[in-house]
Amino acid sequence: MPTPVSADSPVLVIYTGGTLGMVETARGLAPAGHIEERLRRALASLPPGRQASLPAFEVLEIDRPIDSSSATPDDWQRLAALVAQHYRQHAGVVILHGTDTLAWTASSLAFQLPGLDRPVILTGAMRPLEAEESDAAANVEDALRFAVTPRLQEVAICFAGRLLRGCRTRKWRTRETDAFTSPNQPLLGERVDDEVVLYPGRGLADHQRGAPRFELADYAPLAAGGVVRLALWPGIQAWQLEAWLRDDRVRGAVLEVWGGGNLPDDPALAGALARASGEGKLLTALSQCPHGPVAFGAYAAGQGLAEAGVLSADDMTPEATFTKLVHLLALPLREEERRRRFLTPLAGER
C-alpha cells in the first residue's frame, strides 16, 4: 500500500551540483558549498506572499557535487537509491541538477522509480543563485510548491514556470531560461499568476494505481559504454556501424534514423543490424525529427529496420530511449521480455 504522507511532512531537496549552486571565480563558474544557507537566503528575497506559500523543506547535499555534463549511469543509479531511501519521510522530493543532462537523469529516474505515489521533481538554473537576474530562486520555488501536490505522482521537470514529464523532456536551448521542451507530450502543469496548477487527465496518477514498485538494478556493467547512440548520415557505410556494434562490450544501441523510420537502401547496412540483433543486442530506432513517431513500413526504405529486428522507439525522446535501454539491459530479463517491455509504456514515455 502507498505510504501515507502527513500534510506537515517536509520536502526533501537533494543538491547534486550544476550551475544553480556555482559561484563566479577568476577562472569562471565553479561549484560552491553551503547550498542550504544560500538557498534559504535566495528564497527569503521573494515577495512575502510567495514566501508564505512555500512548504517546509530539508536539504541533502551529495558528497561530491558534479557538473551534470560528467554524469554517468552510475550517478543515475545512486540518485535513484537515494530517493528510494528517503522519500517515505517526505511529501515530495526536489532534485537540484545541472541542466546539460537533467533530462537524461529525469528519464532514468522514471524507469527506476515506477509507481511513485508522490512527486519527484528535477530543476536547476541557467544562472547561479546569486547572479543578477538569476532564474534559480523562481525555479526552486515552483518545484517546491509542485512537490507538495498529492495528485502529482511521477518524475517531472519544473523549469521556467512549466511542469513537464521527466521522460518526455529535452533540453532545447543553450542560453534562454525556458531551456526545456516536451515535444510529444503536453505540459503536466504550470505557474499561473502566483499559483501552480496541474492539468487534469495528463498525469500518471490519473492512469495508474497501486504501491511503488521500484526497480533499482545494478547499472555498473553498462556504465562503461554498454549502450551506444548512433545517428545516421547520408553516405553512412556498414563498416562504420559494425565498428560499434561488433564490440562485445556493446549490448544495445539507439539508432537515430530519418523521417518516419527510414534506412538507406543498402543491404549491407541492414545485414549489419540483423547480425547485431541476432547476437542478442537490443537495437532501437527513433526519428531524427523531434516531433512525431517512427513507424516502420510506411515507406519501403523502413522495411529493413523491422526485418533486422530493430525495435521502434515510437515518439520517445533520445534521452528516454537511451535510459530505457540501459534500464532494461540491467534487469535480469529474458530477451523476449526485454523486447516486450521496450515496446510497452512503462512511465508514460511513449
Task: Write out pLDDT tens, residues 24-72.
Answer: 888 888 878 889 999 999 999 999 989 999 999 999 998 888 888 889 9
Backbone φ/ψ region at 201: left (φ over 0), alpha (ψ -120 to 50), beta: left
Tell me which DSSP letter residue 241 carries: H
Regarding beta strands 57-66 and 155-159, do their DSSP bridges make them parallel or antiparallel, or are they unpaired? unpaired
Give the CA-trace dihedral at 337, 340, 342, 348, to 10 degrees.
Answer: -120
**What pLDDT is recorded for position 324?**
98
SS3 label, residue 31: strand
Query: Cell digits for 92?
Result: 515530495
- pLDDT of 212 reads 83
Burial class (CB in 10 A: 0-12, 13-18, 19+), 70: exposed
H or E element, residue 291: none
Active site residue 25: no
Q: Considering 19, 101, 149, 323, which one is annotated as catalytic?
A: 19
Q: Determine which helix (DSSP H) or strand (DSSP E) holds 53, and give its type and residue range.
A: none
- Give me the pLDDT at residue 301, please: 64
Q: Which residue type does 317 have?
A: T
- Exposure string of 193-226, with b = 16+ CB inside 10 Å and e = fewer, is eeebebeeebbbbeeeeeebebeebebeebbeeb
Q: Which residues of the chain have pLDDT under 50?
A: 1-3
How far lies 45's CA from each of 48, 141, 224, 300, in Å?
8, 11, 44, 60
Task: Rounding to the nearest 10 degrees, give the CA dihedral for residues 217, 220, 222, 225.
Answer: 150
Alpha carbons 108 and 222: distance in angstroms, whole number: 13
